[in-house]
Amino acid sequence: MGPLSGIKVVEMGVFVAGPAAAAVLADWGADVVKIENPAGGDPIRALVSLGLAAIEPEVNVPLELENRNKRGVAVDVTRPEGREVVLRLLRGADVFLSNLRAGALERAGLAYADVKAVNPRIIYATLSGYGTRGPDKDRAAFDYAAFWARSGAMASLGEPGGTPPTQRPAMGDHSVGLQLAGAVSAALFHRERTGEGQAIHLSLFQAGLWMMASDIEIALATGNGYVPTGRIVPNPLWNHYQAKDGRWFHLVMIQADRFWARFCEAIGEPDLGKDERYDGVVRRGRHARELIERLDRIFATRTRDEWAAIFDRNEFIWAPVQTVLEASRDPQALALGFYETVPHRSGRDLPIVKSPVEFAATPAAIRRGAPELGEHTEEVLLEHGYGWDDIAHLREKGVFG
C-alpha cells in the first residue's frame, strides 16, 4: 500500500548499499525480486567468512536489515540460460538496481544497453565506489573507503593530532541507499510524464563529498581546508560537555547571542552574562579556551539528567550523547514506531529498523523478513511465463545451482 505499490524492481545487489536502496523501495511498496548467485548468494549471508561472527548466528541481522520485504531468486547469470531468466524478469520490470561493478554487469550481458534492448522504459539504477568516469571508475570500494576516508570526513573528526576515527558499519551505505531510492523515484516520475526510461548512477564517493559539502564548498571558494580543532571552538554554546555522572551532552545553540544571557542565568552563573570578556560571539571566541574550561567545571557539578531538566525548561537546543544501546531504546524512537516487528523463520519476532520517510496517505511498511537463498525462485518464474517443465529443464542445466 506504499507510494510505489505496483512498481516492480529487480535487484542484483551485494553487501549493503545496493540492497539497502532496494529495501527502501520495498518499504515504499515496490515488489522487489533479489537475484543471487546460487553458490552462496549475497556475501552478507556468510558472516563467519566475513570475519563478523565466530559462528553463523540463528538470526543474521545484517541480512535481515538490508533485505526485508524482498523475494529471493537464485540464478547463475554466467550461464546463457540464467541470463535469459533475468532478462525475462526485466522485460516486465520498472527498475533494475545493482551495486555490482560495471565490468561484472557487462560480462553477464546485463549492461544498460542489454537491458534497454528488452525494456526501453526501464530505470537502470547502479551504484559504484567512485563513479562512471575518471581514473578510479573501476576501483573497488566500500563506504569505509570511498564515502568515509576519501571524502574528507575521516580526517575532519577527532582530536587535533590524534588518530582519525573510523565509521561504524554501513553509515555511508544506508544514507546512499536512501539517496538512490529517492533518485529512482524521481526517474519513475519523469517516466510517468514522458514515457522515457533512463540510466541513473550514484557513487559512494560523490555521496561522501555531498555529506561534506559545507566544508568542501569553503575549500573550493577560499582554498582553506578544515582541520580538527577538538573542543576548543569559537562558540562554546556549540560544544559537548561531560556531566557529574560522566555522561556527555551536546549543546547546539548556533545563535549564541540569542541564548547567552538566559543560558548564564539557567546554569546559575549570571555574572558570566555580564562579563565584558564574553560580551558577544566575537569576544567569546577570543576567550573560548578559558570559557570552555570554566563551563567544564560548572557542568561537572550536576548529573546529565539534572542538566536536562534545566535545558528543557529553558528551551535550549541540546541532545544527550547516547550509546547505541541507549539510542535503540530512546523513547522518542519508540513513540515514532521506528522499529517494526516481523516474524522470523527462527520462531522469534524480529524488530527491524524502518526507513525514515513517513507517507501520510500511503504509509511505508515492513511486511516480512529477508528471503532464504532462492526461496521464491519457482514462484517468480511461474509469474513470468515459465512452466514447471521449463523450470525442471533449467534445474537440470544447473541454472539454479
Classified as helix, coil or strand, 159 is coil
Quickly tell me which residue has 555521496 as its cell. 207
C-alpha cell read off for 256: 549564541
Contact 140, 101 (CB under 8 A): yes
Cβ-count burial 69-106 (b if 16+ within 10 Å, e if not): bbbbbbbbbeeebbbbbbbebbeebbbbbbbbbbeebe
Closest CA to 99 of 53, 61, 60, 146: 146
Q: Quickly count: other Cβ atoms within 10 Å of residue 21's Cβ.
A: 33
C-alpha cell read off for 69: 520485504
Closest CA to 365 of 30, 93, 20: 30
Classified as helix, coil or strand, 180 is helix
Phi (first) and psi of residue 323, to 5 degrees: -75, 165
Catalytic positions are: 173
Q: In one letter, which amino acid is 308?
A: A
Q: Give the DSSP per-residue string, 362-391.
A: S-----S-PPPTTTTHHHHHHHTT--HHHH
